[in-house]
């Protein structure tokens, strides 16, 4: 209720007030970044990995699949397959059996072997450190490439936009777009490049712990006062202005 007393205005009035200039938006983004750092200082990639190849494989497996499921699969997968040549040394059907609890496992097995073949032929079995080279690999789109570049190599080539980032960036009023390929450019314009990697990690964690899809916990959210979608604003309609 404290946030309701703080606003003293209806949700529609708050949204009207939050029509921002570019300068105001950038200042609010600074506060959002500061809040995320405070609440999630330990945020990191949720996919377990020990090297760039493992991260690449895990990220390919994570498409339309939970990170928790991928981590279960890779806990045994990475003990069996340690190099690109290991993935290429078995029939596709065997690799399929090893990953059959993830979604679209047949397509992903084919993509993994295709990616490993290119890595061996063109990159000496090593994961390349350029976005363009990564995107050429089967099963690798811009999101996967950004994950590998940022997490494995510490190179900010873009902002990873997953379902949590889509939801939160819309709720926070950082974009009006719904498609990842349009949301990423919107975020890149307002998020400092040095924050790109950690911003997505923290926003994803915030989406899992606080700003959940069905019921966001606005009452404990450090971003609540910077968020035009806060559910706490609604209760201000019946309260007098302080």
What is the full per-residue pLDDT of the chain (242 aa) written as tens digits?
A: 344 434 455 555 555 555 789 999 999 999 999 999 999 998 999 999 999 999 999 999 999 999 999 999 999 999 999 999 999 999 999 999 999 999 999 999 999 999 999 999 999 999 999 999 999 999 999 999 999 999 999 999 999 999 999 999 999 999 999 999 999 999 999 999 999 999 999 999 999 999 999 999 999 999 999 999 998 875 444 433 32
Rounded to whole angstroms, the Cα distance separating 184 from 172 reads 14
Packing angle between helix 22-39 and helix 180-190, nearest 10 degrees? 100
If one counts every other C-beta atom within 10 angstroms of the C-beta of residue 100, the result is 12
User: Among 24, 30, 20, which Cα is nearest to 192's?
Assistant: 30
Determine whether 15 is an active site residue: no
CB proximity list for 120: less than 8 A, separation 6 or greater = 84, 85, 88
Q: Which residue out of 30, 162, 186, 225 is catalytically annotated?
A: 162
Distance of CA 179 to the CA centre of its chain: 14
Q: What is the pLDDT of residue 129?
A: 97
Question: 29, 190 in Cβ contact below 8 A?
Answer: yes
Rounded to whole angstroms, the Cα distance separating 198 from 14 reads 29
Q: Which residue out of 11, 67, 108, 143 is catalytically annotated?
A: 143
Determine whether 143 is an active site residue: yes
Rounded to whole angstroms, the Cα distance separating 98 from 73 reads 8
Q: Name the class of domain 2-43+160-237.
A: mainly alpha
In which residue ranges of the chain is CATH 1.10.340.30 found? 52-153
In which residue ranges of the chain is CATH 1.10.1670.10 found? 2-43+160-237
Q: What is the pLDDT of residue 6?
A: 43
Q: What is the pLDDT of residue 20?
A: 84
Domain 52-153 has CATH 1.10.340.30: yes
Rounded to whole angstroms, the Cα distance separating 56 from 63 reads 12
**Per the structure block, which two tokens stand in for 12?**
């529609």
> Which residue is associated with the tokens 């719904």?
178
């Amino acid at each position: 209720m404290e946030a309701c007393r703080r606003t003293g205005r209806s949700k529609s009035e708050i949204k009207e007030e939050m029509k921002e200039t570019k300068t105001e938006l950038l200042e609010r983004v600074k506060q959002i970044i500061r809040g995320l750092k405070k609440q999630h200082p330990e945020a990191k990639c949720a996919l377990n990995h020990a090297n760039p190849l493992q991260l690449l494989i895990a990220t390919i497996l994570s498409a339309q699949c939970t990170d928790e499921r991928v981590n279960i699969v890779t806990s045994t997968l990475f003990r069996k397959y340690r190099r690109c040549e290991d993935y290429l040394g078995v029939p596709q059907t065997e690799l399929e059996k090893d990953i059959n609890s993830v979604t679209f496992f047949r397509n992903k097995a084919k993509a993994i072997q295709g990616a490993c073949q290119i890595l061996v032929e063109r990159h000496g079995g090593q994961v390349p450190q350029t976005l363009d080279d990564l995107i050429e690999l089967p099963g690798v789109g811009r999101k996967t490439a950004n994950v590998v570049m940022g997490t494995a190599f510490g190179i900010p080539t873009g902002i990873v936009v997953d379902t949590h980032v889509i939801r939160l960036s819309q709720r926070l009023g950082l974009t009006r777009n719904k498609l990842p390929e349009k949301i990423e450019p919107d975020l890149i314009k307002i998020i400092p490049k040095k924050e790109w990697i950690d911003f997505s990690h923290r926003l994803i964690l915030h989406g899992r712990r606080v700003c959940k899809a069905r019921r966001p916990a606005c009452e404990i959210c450090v971003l609540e006062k910077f968020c035009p979608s806060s559910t706490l604003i609604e209760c201000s309609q019946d309260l007098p202005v302080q």
